[in-house]
Structure 1
Amino acid sequence: MQRIYLFLLLMCLQLSLPAQQQPLRIGVIGLTHTHVHWILGRADRGDIKIVGIVEPNRELAERYAKQHGYSMNILFSSMDEMIAVTRPEAVTAFGTIYEHLKVVETAAPKGIHVMVEKPLAVSMEHAQKMEVLAKKYNIHLLTNYETTWYPSNKKVNELLQNGTVGSLRKVVVRDGHRGPKRIGINKEFLDWLTDPVQNGGGALMDFGCYGANLVTWLQHGKRPTSVTAVTHQLQEENNPDVDDEATIILNYDTAQAIIQASWNWPIGRKDMEVYGLTGALYADNRTAVRWRKAEGYDGYKEEAYQLKENEKPFDDPFALFAAVIRKKVVLKPYDLSSLENNMLVVEILQAASESAKTGRTVKLN
């Protein structure tokens, strides 16, 4: 009772301020996805406030509380309890990908906005149910990718849309690392990341989604005409139930995209190459971009950029989430975080999984 009284008292004090001046009240759903350190360890920018955390694994919650300094008084064992007590305006999902649907089913009818970690859903069946709920209850449903906040990707897109390299012909996106077990992720994350139900697959889902998201953005939401994929299991001892190597080919009317998703790279990477009729663009890492202008048969002139971080709120997922909810930012159609983009991402991933299983190209309507 005392905890409920304190929460209600704080809410009354906050309600005396205009909503636009208040930090966004956020509930964190789940702690098993280690991307949760992003929000738990985030510097206080005054734009969001974590009012509740839902995590049934108390030992995990206590471990992270010691690391990040949050009070165990904001820990709840269920979403319903947390929502009833803290009344969040939005929630962020840091559990399994399979659980994303349940988060939206619980939050949307209450008008609570949702941000999930990539990918949006484990299947089109889940994604379509989530989309229906988001539209019915008029909530924002965003998907967070690390690469959304890379200044390099933003710069490449700007150069492409400005016609710097001519009409788009090919995109190559490479993402991954040595594999979940080899890089030493904690048990709570490993238990579901290598589970075909809870994660929806292996490297194809975990890292293939990055490429599908970026290509959909570069292509302004254009749907591929076909999807072809090949997967392998090169670490059977570490990933016995899922793929750990995937190559996905997306065919468009006038371009092609190749997505290389791997848990076998010797060095972690998130990079992209974009080829047009007159040149090429390389996003080598978070801040480095190269532009090569073709000259002659195999010559080129190269210009390099070393970029600064994006301006607020486009430098951080939770800052953008708050800005969208507060109507300070309106997402463009097929923006990297948008529902439209990520519905197509799930469609691509599902087609890729089907292609890999059947050995056939999957045509999209």
Structure 2
Amino acid sequence: MDIKAGIIGCGSIAKFRHAPEYRANPYVSEIVFYDRNLERAEELATLFGGSVAKSVDKLLADPEIEVISDCSSNENHHLFSTKALKSGKHVLCEKPISLTIEHANQVVDAQKESGRKLMVDHNQRFTRAHQKAKEIIENKELGNVLTFQTTFGHQGPEYWGVNKTNSTWFFKKDRSGFGVVGDLGIHKLDLIHYLLDDQIEQVSAFQAALDKVDENGEPIEVCDNVVCSLKTNQGRLGTASFSWTYYGQEDNSTIIYCEKGILKIYHNSTYQLEVFTKDGEQINYKLESIQTNDSQTNTGVIDAFIDCVRLDTEPIVSGQDALLSLKVILGVMEAAETNKVVTI
């Protein structure tokens, strides 16, 4: 089965994640690239042996293209993903699904109307350590989950983005929307939903632009740090911190505290999952190292997306899942801006 893929937006996420993973997938025969900056599309077409579409409409009008990766910037996700679904394409949308509930609903509705697949790239669900942790929690090997803490931070998108400067769109309120929360935080909030099979229902938060400046040397318009407290439907309590100012080493770790022990995920570079039981036993799992900005490995996202199209199965991250994570993000932003506890 030969699947032809289209990529909208040729920034770093397309270059380092989507394009190489499509090329490595045995079922994908060709990639067509579109970017409003034609040179960027041409660069990736050369790099990955694909071709270039001169417009989004031309890309979506190609009857041979079955799947689309929407790698545009946040404010455009709802436009391109909705249009692609309505054109009869299966869509893998970068996170967040959109910047507003209304726009997210447009994408979800387009999926329902079209009957095509929609998956959103909350890629933390795909790591073996997180999947093993979920299995341990589901099987109640350590009893019920009581509390948790999670963090995701690195030195910032200007070190990762396509132009490697402080003019990155991630620092612009109208394009990024939520700063570090929409970039890194949403991954961890989705992960908590996934691991605990539960939903965050109340949040309080602090946010600030502590250190980052834009291309003019002014403090950025969005937050570079957020710390929040979370409560789930089932009454579990947790904390989360997200940062673009972890200078020196990325932190992508989560700890789950249960009745009979503790799960530590991505705390130890040798053992990606460590279990400490109440009676003093320690079990170490050597699975695979997590992907970082400095160390690009296959995320498994594209493979999972192609499999759900090929085998007609449900995506691991649905539009509905992405909508729930977006609601939490909006709650975190509101809590930080109003100094109130917000119910999602």
The Cα of 1:321 is off from its aligned counterpart by: 0.9
Query: 1:90 Cα deviation (Å)?
Result: 1.4
TM-superposed deviation, 1:40: 2.1
More off after superposition, 37-46 vs 75-84: 37-46
Q: Residues of 1 paired with 2:342 and 2:60: CA distance?
A: 42
Which residue among 167, 183, 190 is the counterpart of 1:206? 183
- Give the C-alpha shift of residue 46 in structure 1: 1.5
Q: In terms of mean alpha carbon deviation, does 207-216 or 49-58 score higher? A: 49-58
**Structure 1's 108 and 62: CA in aligned 2 closer, same or farther, altered over 3 A?**
closer
Residue 76 (structure 1) aligned with residue 60 (structure 2): no
Shift in CA distance, 54/188, structure 1 to aligned 2, threshold 3 Å? farther
**Cross-structure match for 1:27:** 6
CA positional deviation for 1:251: 0.8
1:149 aligns with 2:133: no
2:28 matches 1:48: yes
| Aligned equivalent of 1:195 | 172
Say whether residues 1:339 and 2:323 are aligned partners.
Answer: no
2:205 pairs, out of 229, 241, 244, with 229
- Pick closer, same or farther for the CA change 1:215–1:83 going to 2, 3 Å: same
SS in 2 for 1:270: coil
For 1:247-262, what aligned pairs fall within 5 Å after superposition?
A: 247-252=227-232, 253-262=234-243
Q: CA deviation at 1:339?
A: 1.9
**Contact 1:173–1:273 under 8 Å retained in 2:** yes
1:308 is displaced (CA, Å) by 5.1
The one-letter code sitting in structure 2 at the alignment partner of 1:226 is Q
CA RMSD of superposed structures (Å): 2.3
Larger Rg: 1
User: Any residues of structure 2 matched to 1:268-307 within 5 Å, and which?
Assistant: 268-284=250-266, 288-295=272-279, 300-307=280-287
CA distance in 1, matches of 2:29, 2:203: 41
Note if contact 1:292-1:303 (Cα within 8 Å) is conserved in structure 2: yes
Tell me, yes or no, if the aligned pair for 1:32 and 1:188 is still in contact at 8 Å.
no
CA distance, structure 1, for counterparts of residue 40 and residue 113 of structure 2:
35
Q: 1:309 to 1:271 in 2, by over 3 A?
A: closer
Aligned-partner SS, 1:171? strand
Query: Which amino acid is the alignment partner of residue 262 of structure 1?
Result: S
* 1:97 positional shift: 1.2
Kept after mapping to 1: 8 A contact 2:12/2:161: no
1:281 Cα deviation (Å)?
Answer: 0.3
Kindly indicate whether the alpha-carbon contact (under 8 Å) linking 1:118 and 1:143 is maintained by their aligned counterparts in 2: yes
8 Å CA contact retained: 1:29, 1:54: yes
SS of the residue aligned with 1:264?
coil
Asked if the contact 2:17–2:299 (Cα under 8 Å) also holds between the matched residues in 1, the reply is no
2:301 to 311, 317, 325: 317
Task: Compute the displacement of 1:57 (Å).
Answer: 0.7
Distance 2:245 2:212 in 1: 12
CA contact (8 A) 1:28 1:50 kept: no
Within the candidate set 156, 159, 170, 1:179 is matched to: 156
| More displaced stretch, 252-261 vs 269-278 | 252-261
Contact 2:124 2:188 in 1 (8 A): no
Paired residue for 1:9? Answer: none
Are residues 1:128 and 2:105 paired?
Answer: yes
Contact 1:36 1:94 survives alignment (8 Å):
no
CA distance in 1, matches of 2:212, 2:304: 39
Q: 1:278 to 1:69 in 2, by over 3 A?
A: closer
How many angstroms apart in 2 are the aligned matches of 1:344 and 1:36? 28
Q: Aligned residue for 1:15?
A: none
Instruction: Name segments (4+ residues, structure 1) moved above 4 Å.
Output: none
Mapped contact 2:32–2:45 kept (Cα < 8 A): no
1:40 is paired with a residue of what secondary structure?
Answer: helix
Aligned length in residues: 327
How far 1:139 sits from its partner (Å)? 1.8
Q: Give, as a single letter, the amino acid of the residue that structure 1 aligns with 2:39.
A: E
Q: In 1, are the aligned partners of 2:12 and 2:162 still within 8 Å (CA)? A: no
Distance 1:224 1:128 in 2: 19
State the partner residue of 1:37: 16
Structure 1 contact 28–54 (Cα < 8 Å) conserved: yes
Q: d(CA) in 2 for partners of 1:52 and 1:236?
A: 35
Distance 1:49 1:197, change over 3 A: farther
What residue number does 2:295 align with?
none
Letter of the aligned partner of 1:169 in structure 2?
L
TM-score by length of 1: 0.83
